[in-house]
Structure 1
Amino acid sequence: MKLDKNTVAKRYGKAIYELATEKGQAEDVYNELLSLREIFEALPDLGNILSDRRLNLQEKRSLMDELIQNFTGIVYNALEVIFKYGRMYDLLLIIDEYEKRYDDDKGLLLGSVTTAVPLKKEQKDKLATKVAQKFGYETANLQENVDPSIVGGILVETNGRVIDGSLKTQIENLRKKLSK
């Protein structure tokens, strides 16, 4: 039975996080994974290339050796296992899972907020505090997006959950009710 990407990412991310925590290296591993994320975001096809069974193993191994030479311990070993099982295309999802677990343990909620106009700093800070409280976290780090098409209000997305207080959605809902 082939596992889906999210299941694989959760398992690998959890295993890496648990090992890093057990060894007292969670923050070091976190920082190494962030730098690894930058590489894979700059070279979006790298994961697919390293996982493609049709490509020459020696060439992939050479590329992999070049990639992992800058990493140590847990990250190095995790990359070797992920490469061995041909799951390098899942690496960003694995890093996301590790980051989520790390942030959860630190009491930090990551998410995004979309508004029609830019928020002032005090508004963004107040919103971050409210969102953190609503979801049971100490703090929230919200990436701000501006999208005039939402007309007004806010749209908050975090941990797979959405709070849609946009005027656009309210208008669409009203339009649906009136058309019944």
Structure 2
Amino acid sequence: MPNPRLAARYAKSLVDISVEKNQLEAVKSDMDFLKAVINTSREFKSVLKSPIITADKKSAVFNAVTAGKVSEITVAFSKLLINKGRENVLPEIVIEFENQYNKLKGINIVKFITAQPIGEDLKSQITAKLQADAGISNIQLQSEVDPGIIGGFILEYNNRLVDVSISRDLADIKKQFLDNEFVLNIR
């Protein structure tokens, strides 16, 4: 079961200790590595979440996967999580660490979803337009392709959503017909 409050507390502790030890960038790269492992290895994620596997075996698996690839702070942090029985929250902690890192560094994540892939020129134009109109800086643009939106785009940033997709327009039209808004306006 996801526990965002717990993940936020552990992530904040990890950010604080890594800043204190001047290892923030090293721990950030460790979290990127762990995120990639968690996203690509279903078995690793299953081991972390399994209540049947003992802490010793989880520790051995974690050490085998991360041996020589993560910093001492991350190794100590993972040992703490495993000893406390909180290793099942690691995927959420990794995501929350990334969020807190971005907030600390002033990085704004912008998600741009289109029906077709876009080029680098259009990405730079979108970034420039957002910087000028929305007043946000230090933008990290994440473009995604979703053919289900048919056309147009969806833009997400700073808890805002701009949806000018064809699928949204079609859904709005369908809702209007189902609600019979046009019939009521005729009478």
**TM-score (ref. length: structure 1):** 0.81
Alignment partners' CA distance in 2, 1:67 and 1:146: 31
1:152-176 CA deviation, whole Å, 9 max, x = no partner?
2111234654321212102211331
**Which residue pairs with 2:183 in the alignment?**
none
**Which residue pairs with 1:28 in the alignment?**
26
**Which residue pairs with 1:167 in the alignment?**
166
The 5 A counterparts of 1:19-168 are 19-70=17-68, 71-131=70-130, 137-158=136-157, 161-168=160-167
Assess, with a 3 A threshold, how the Cα gap between structure 1 residues 137 and 75 changes in structure 2: closer, same or farther: farther
Q: CA deviation at 1:146?
A: 2.5
1:50-105 CA deviation, whole Å, 9 max, x = no partner?
34332244433332333454233321121111111222232122111111121222
Residues 107, 137 of structure 1: 8 Å contact kept: no
Of the candidates 7, 10, 13, which is equivalent to residue 11 of structure 2? 13
Assess, with a 3 A threshold, how the Cα gap between structure 1 residues 132 and 86 changes in structure 2: closer, same or farther: farther
- Partner-residue secondary structure (3-state), 1:113: strand
Aligned length: 178
Identify the range of structure 1 (63-72 vs 150-159) with the bigger mean alpha-carbon deviation: 63-72
Identical pairs, percent: 24
Alignment partners' CA distance in 2, 1:134 and 1:83: 46
Q: Can you give the 5+ residue segments of structure 2 that lack an aligned partner in the other structure?
A: 180-187
**TM-score (ref. length: structure 2):** 0.79
Letter paired with 2:12: K
- Partner-residue secondary structure (3-state), 1:114: strand
**Alignment root-mean-square deviation, CA:** 2.6
Alignment partners' CA distance in 2, 1:126 and 1:175: 33
Q: Can you give the 5+ residue segments of structure 1 that lack an aligned partner in the other structure?
A: none
Residues 157, 163 of structure 1: 8 Å contact kept: yes
Alignment partners' CA distance in 2, 1:88 and 1:132: 39
Q: CA deviation at 1:17?
A: 0.8
